[in-house]
Chain A
């Protein structure tokens, strides 16, 4: 009797075992400081393992669906930088911007376009940047994103090699935004990418960066991103993250922001589609007079699950943070909002506000929302609130009584609901792209 046994190794073991191959192909660079961090991160990943729903931060986000996928993970695949990828129709139209395109994690020189002068902003693929700006990278890489507590951050850090490096020197105002596209091409298997981005804005500088996650084809993909952001004195950064992937795309990412005196951070996270989307946005306001604005809009439908975790850590006095996340949930989708605000003992005169508002369009959709305020200072102004409800019947009746169909009335109200977040996007072509995506969703 013949017995066939199929040995399937789990995703964690496969990722761990591919590290030695990854190291081999890094050639000489394994003696660099970042490689020491990579090795340390790999150990942390091994120790932590993927989180289950027993983990407090993953209580409502079950990643079993991700772990059972048979992904093609080739950490050192340098692919062929090519222009054969027909991605133009996926991109944001009419955007006058610096454009970086990654396909399955690999930088596509031929498709990318840097238009701002290099004395104003340095925009590079991470691998290349480590040969030209190693000292900047060594000063900031993995200094802020905690790879000893978050398994996905550890995993990303262990394999950190590809991604974007953006550095704005002191006193530079960069007019044109940087748009970074991460496209998963699912026609060639089940791609995994581990984008690692580092954005550093120098003193008195100003810039806008947009991260866009898209899928080509209908297949399965996994992106595990870490973006570290450093905003120096009196600098200002606008950061937009757009997730509009296919329904089989797993997108997990941490954006780690470190702010010092008089700096401003402005963030908008728009999550439209995916299988599981998990965003961790962690901001440390580590000096006086910092300002952080966090906006989010998520519109899951079908079986999509979208989880937004945020942490605003007021470490020093006289800073301000304002957070508004809104969700429109349809189908059997699920959403999570977990917003933490820490006000440390030192952080007197803090102003911190948080609001999460949700509309459930179907009886089968659900939302878990949890605000967490931990205040250790006594002279602060903080507020938070969360609501989950349906579209307002009185509003619908009013619109219908003027001849507007139920469907159009709903669409008008949802547009208005989303507009509070969408209108925060100052880059016009990006805002239009989002408005159109919402319109086509609402008229489906």
Chain B
């Protein structure tokens, strides 16, 4: 599904990603862990197409298509979804109105008929249950005045509505209490199928108690320096990142 080869990216003059490789197949869950400043959020942003980053080398193929050639909206329509670490507040645009526009733009790009008001509402009600989000919240301005937990639930709700092939969760656990974390994680698990994949970017192992990864990768200094099964996450939790750093510099 996703094939990243030797990806290099800068912000300004500073190189953040220094030759990153990653293969993700349908049905898999990958966790990307690493110390602060290792490039985790940069990877998420580059995959979603944020223009603040400049890709200086390497390639990213998504179902064989050159992802780096596409605009953020084209990537979304191809099936990429980024759950933001800090969801943006947009005053004056209701979540409902925004999502209706988004869902129908994605459908249009896929050659599907737009959903009418009734179909959209039916689908919304069904997906709202997944993340225990209520109607009142959705009719308010997008993320404006939402609590941390509400914002993250809203991200997963949007993911449910857009049904992406590849979901990238960027530090989705940050700022969540344990109950909110469980709701968000359960939402993600319910959305898993054999045809889609999830990349969980996180600093802590906590979220991985709920979203069980098939692979754990350690990102350090802009490269994936170690990969392993889910037990690697537990080891990192127990021993911290220093031993990885020592291994790399050895």
Which A residues are within 8 Å of any B CB, using their own CB?
A: 393-395, 397-406, 408-409, 412-413, 415-417, 419-420
Contact of A401 among B49, B90, B92, B103 (CB under 8 A): B49
* A400, B71: Cβ atoms closer than 8 Å: yes
* A406, B73: Cβ atoms closer than 8 Å: yes
Task: Verify if B137 is at the interface (C-beta below 8 Å from A).
Answer: no
**B146 vs chain A, min Cβ distance (A):** 14
A398 to B75, CA, bound (A): 13
* A412, B101: Cβ atoms closer than 8 Å: yes
Which residues does chain A contribute within 8 Å of B162, judged by CB atoms? 402-403
Closest Cβ neighbor of A414 among chain B residues: B92
Q: Which of B24-32, B80-88, B121-129 contacts A (4 or more CB under 8 A)?
A: B80-88
Known contacts A397-B51, A412-B98, A416-B93, A403 near B88 by CB under 8 Å: no
Known contacts A408-B101, A413-B90, A417-B92, A403 near B82 by CB under 8 Å: no
A-B contact pairs, 24 of them (CB 8 A): A393-B51, A397-B50, A397-B88, A398-B90, A399-B90, A400-B49, A401-B48, A401-B76, A401-B81, A401-B84, A402-B73, A402-B98, A403-B73, A403-B77, A403-B102, A403-B106, A403-B109, A403-B162, A408-B101, A409-B73, A412-B101, A413-B90, A413-B93, A416-B93
Contact of A399 among B77, B82, B98, B109 (CB under 8 A): B98
Task: Verify if B72 is at the interface (C-beta below 8 Å from A).
Answer: yes
Task: Verify if B37 is at the interface (C-beta below 8 Å from A).
Answer: no
Task: Verify if B229 is at the interface (C-beta below 8 Å from A).
Answer: no
Closest Cβ neighbor of B50 among chain A residues: A397
Which residues does chain A contribute within 8 Å of B105, judged by CB atoms? 403-405, 408
* A404, B73: Cβ atoms closer than 8 Å: yes
**A147 vs chain B, min Cβ distance (A):** 41
* B92, A420: Cβ atoms closer than 8 Å: yes
* A419, B109: Cβ atoms closer than 8 Å: no
A403 to B123, CA, bound (A): 18
For the side of the interface on B, what is the size category?
20 to 34
A406 to B70, CA, bound (A): 13
**B90 vs chain A, min Cβ distance (A):** 5
Closest Cβ neighbor of B102 among chain A residues: A402
| Residues of A contacting B: mostly | helix
A401 to B47, CA, bound (A): 10
* A416, B92: Cβ atoms closer than 8 Å: yes
* B91, A416: Cβ atoms closer than 8 Å: yes
Which residues does chain A contribute within 8 Å of B87, judged by CB atoms? 398
* A405, B98: Cβ atoms closer than 8 Å: no
Which residues does chain B contribute within 8 Å of A413, judged by CB atoms? 90, 93
Which residues does chain A contribute within 8 Å of B109, judged by CB atoms? 403
Which residues does chain B contribute within 8 Å of A403, judged by CB atoms? 73, 76-77, 102-103, 105-106, 109, 162
Closest Cβ neighbor of B108 among chain A residues: A403
A420 to B91, CA, bound (A): 10
A360 to B144, CA, bound (A): 23
* A401, B98: Cβ atoms closer than 8 Å: no
Task: Verify if B96 is at the interface (C-beta below 8 Å from A).
Answer: no
Which residues does chain A contribute within 8 Å of B48, judged by CB atoms? 401
A400 to B90, CA, bound (A): 13
Task: Verify if B158 is at the interface (C-beta below 8 Å from A).
Answer: yes
A419 to B109, CA, bound (A): 29
Which residues does chain A contribute within 8 Å of B73, judged by CB atoms? 400-406, 409
Best-buried of A393, A394, A395, A399 by chain B (most CB within 10 Å) = A399
Closest Cβ neighbor of B107 among chain A residues: A403
Contact of B72 among A401, A408, A412, A415 (CB under 8 A): A401
A-contacting residues, B97-133, CB 8 Å: 98-99, 101-103, 105-106, 109
A360 to B103, CA, bound (A): 29
* B106, A398: Cβ atoms closer than 8 Å: no
**A396 vs chain B, min Cβ distance (A):** 9
Closest Cβ neighbor of A394 among chain B residues: B88
Which residues does chain B contribute within 8 Å of A405, judged by CB atoms? 73, 105
Which residues does chain A contribute within 8 Å of B90, judged by CB atoms? 395, 398-399, 413, 416
* B88, A395: Cβ atoms closer than 8 Å: yes
Which residues does chain A contribute within 8 Å of B91, judged by CB atoms? 416
* B82, A412: Cβ atoms closer than 8 Å: no
**A345 vs chain B, min Cβ distance (A):** 38
A108 to B73, CA, bound (A): 52
* B101, A415: Cβ atoms closer than 8 Å: no
Which residues does chain A contribute within 8 Å of B158, judged by CB atoms? 402
- Other than the given A406-B71, A413-B93, 18 more pairs (CB < 8 A) read A394-B88, A395-B88, A397-B50, A397-B51, A399-B98, A401-B49, A401-B81, A402-B76, A402-B106, A402-B158, A403-B109, A404-B73, A412-B93, A415-B92, A416-B90, A416-B91, A416-B93, A417-B92
> Nearest 9 pairs between A and B by C-beta?
A416-B92, A403-B76, A402-B102, A400-B72, A403-B106, A398-B88, A400-B73, A416-B93, A403-B105
Known contacts A405-B105, A408-B105, A412-B98, A400 near B76 by CB under 8 Å: yes
Closest Cβ neighbor of A420 among chain B residues: B92
A438 to B180, CA, bound (A): 40
Which residues does chain B contribute within 8 Å of A399, judged by CB atoms? 90, 98, 102
Bits for B27-61, please: 1 = Cβ < 8 Å to A, else 0.
Answer: 00000000000000000000011110000000000
A384 to B28, CA, bound (A): 54
Best-buried of A398, A406, A417 by chain B (most CB within 10 Å) = A398
Which residues does chain B contribute within 8 Å of A416, judged by CB atoms? 90-93, 141
Which residues does chain A contribute within 8 Å of B99, judged by CB atoms? 402
A403 to B73, CA, bound (A): 4
Which residues does chain B contribute within 8 Å of A397, judged by CB atoms? 49-51, 72, 88
* A401, B93: Cβ atoms closer than 8 Å: no
A42 to B102, CA, bound (A): 60
Which residues does chain B contribute within 8 Å of A400, judged by CB atoms? 49, 71-73, 76
**A224 vs chain B, min Cβ distance (A):** 35
**A234 vs chain B, min Cβ distance (A):** 34
**A143 vs chain B, min Cβ distance (A):** 41
Which residues does chain A contribute within 8 Å of B50, judged by CB atoms? 397
**B69 vs chain A, min Cβ distance (A):** 15
Closest Cβ neighbor of A417 among chain B residues: B92
**A400 vs chain B, min Cβ distance (A):** 4
A402 to B102, CA, bound (A): 6
A397 to B86, CA, bound (A): 13
Which residues does chain A contribute within 8 Å of B88, judged by CB atoms? 394-395, 397-398
